[in-house]
């Protein structure tokens, strides 16, 4: 199925029959990406009298209770409710699901303290104002080990808040990154990039309450830097976050 799209005065067409999934699945057990010391995902069958919710154990159907931590167990999309004292939910924040997105690749720079950080000038070199609604950051090297990496206690790379501020000024409403967080693993509770992206506490005044951050994505090598149609799929959780499935479609300029 092919569709035509118009955004910022530009016309594109996309083939919806060729999706490019950039999510990491949530697997049960330890063979899963993990961060912030989250418990491993777990699924157990419901047992009630003679009923057992597992066909592998003789039941008629699979009927499982599932334990996950969306922030720590796989690709997830979060709203400002992640940091706000007020209640915001992903189900009420994300009401539109398709966006013009730009994929960029960045090698985080090492600071004097040893941290690896994505800097403003690195984003500025690859992003122009109002050319996309969403920005997808692939960090280099893009190793397959990201799919099962145990990030807890490793101080992974993160975004400098000035880079995040530049994205806001450039019109980015949806930020997707292949790291556990846009902020330092331990930063004393400052959460500089989270606060900057949502312009919290002035989120509503600055029309940022519909903006989202997606973390722990994985952008395969065959997905080249450039423009795509992005579709963000979430579950309708009335929470600050949901496991998510961002999907890309190649765009072709028509004008």
Give the model's confidence band at 76: pLDDT under 50 very low, under 70 low, under 90 confident, else very high.
Answer: very high
Say how far apart CA 68 and CA 241 lie, in whole Å.
12
Q: Which fold has domain 2-25+75-253?
A: Glucose Oxidase; domain 1 (3.50.30)
Dist. CA 158–CA 139, nearest whole Å: 10
pLDDT in tens, 176-188: 999 999 999 999 9
Average pLDDT, the chain: 96
- pLDDT at 43 > cutoff 90: yes
Tokens found for residue 250: 């190649």
**Residue extents of the structural domains in the chain:** 2-25+75-253
* pLDDT higher than threshold 90 for residue 7: no
Mean pLDDT of 85-92: 98
Question: Is 45 in contact with 64 (CB distance < 8 Å)?
Answer: yes
Tell me the pLDDT band of 9, cut-offs 50, 70 and 90.
confident
State the pLDDT at residue 133: 97
Distance of alpha carbon 128 from alpha carbon 57, whole angstroms:
56
What is the reported pLDDT for 94?
Answer: 98
Buried b / exposed e along 41-57 (16+ C-beta atoms within 10 A): beeebeeeeeebbbeee
**Can you tell me the distance from the alpha carbon of 150 to that of 181, in angstroms, rounded to the nearest whole number?**
13
Return the pLDDT at 241.
98
């Amino acid at each position: 199925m092919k569709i035509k799209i118009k955004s910022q005065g530009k016309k594109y067409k996309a083939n919806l029959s060729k999706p490019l999934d950039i999510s990491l699945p949530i697997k049960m057990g330890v063979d899963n990406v993990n961060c912030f010391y989250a418990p491993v995902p777990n699924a157990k069958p419901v047992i009630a009298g003679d009923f057992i919710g597992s066909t592998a154990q003789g039941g008629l159907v699979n009927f499982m209770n599932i334990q996950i931590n969306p922030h720590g167990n796989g690709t997830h999309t979060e709203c400002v409710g992640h940091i706000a004292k007020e209640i915001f939910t992903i189900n009420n924040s994300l009401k539109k699901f398709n966006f013009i997105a730009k994929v960029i690749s960045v090698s985080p720079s090492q600071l004097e303290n040893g941290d690896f950080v994505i800097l403003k000038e690195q984003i500025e070199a690859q992003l122009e104002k109002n050319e996309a609604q969403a920005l997808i950051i692939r960090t280099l090297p893009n190793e397959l080990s990201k799919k099962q990496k145990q990030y807890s206690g490793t101080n992974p790379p993160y975004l400098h808040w000035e880079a995040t501020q530049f994205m806001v000024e450039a019109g980015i409403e949806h930020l997707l990154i292949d790291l556990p967080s846009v902020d330092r693993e331990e930063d004393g509770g400052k959460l500089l990039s989270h606060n900057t992206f949502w312009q919290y506490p002035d989120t509503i005044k600055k029309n940022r309450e519909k903006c989202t951050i997606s973390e722990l994505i994985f952008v395969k090598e065959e997905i080249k830097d450039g423009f795509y149609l992005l579709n963000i799929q979430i579950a309708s959780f009335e929470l600050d976050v949901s496991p998510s499935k961002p999907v890309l479609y190649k765009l072709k300029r028509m004008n």
